[in-house]
């Protein structure tokens, strides 16, 4: 006998995208940080997950790159429902870009959500 489908309740919420665009001037600091911290990527991802950040990634076939996103899931966190995204041709670099943005540029701070420029990152 088939099971009765369970009713699901989905609350509507709106995700706000963080607006963190890196410039060419930011790239040397990111690359130095990645070289220094790159071996700790799994520890950083675990720290983000433990802190309520849901991670997902996918391949963007049209632009031939990977897109990584982290969305804060803890309701009383100031970044609740804020999504930080990064893209790169290299998945590890895309993951590290998000770690860099959240952990280095804005540690324990509200991520900016107002768009100011369209740059790399």
Q: Domain of 56?
A: 16-105
Query: How many separate domains does the chain show?
Result: 1
CA pair distance 43, 54, nearest whole angstrom:
15
Q: For 41-87, what is each residue's pLDDT tens digit?
A: 999 999 999 999 999 999 999 999 999 999 999 999 999 999 999 99
- Tell me, yes or no, whether 37 lies in a domain: yes
Note whether residue 41 is domain-resident: yes
Residue 115 lies in a domain: no
In a domain, 44, yes or no: yes
- Structural domain contains residue 59: yes
Write the pLDDT tens digit of every residue in 96-112.
999 999 999 998 889 99
The domain that contains 80 carries what CATH number? 3.30.160
Whether 112 is in a domain gets the answer no
């Amino acid at each position: 006998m088939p099971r009765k489908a369970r009713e699901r309740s989905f609350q509507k919420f709106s995700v706000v995208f963080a607006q963190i665009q890196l410039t060419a001037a930011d790239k040397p600091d990111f690359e130095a940080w990645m070289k220094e911290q790159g071996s700790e990527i799994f520890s950083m991802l675990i720290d983000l997950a433990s802190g309520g950040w849901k991670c997902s990634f996918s391949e963007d076939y049209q632009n031939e790159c990977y897109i990584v996103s982290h969305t804060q899931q803890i309701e009383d966190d100031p970044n609740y429902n804020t999504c930080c995204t990064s893209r790169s041709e290299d998945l590890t670099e895309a993951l590290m870009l998000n770690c860099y943005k959240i952990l280095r540029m804005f540690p324990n701070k509200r991520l900016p959500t107002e768009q100011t420029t369209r740059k790399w990152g």
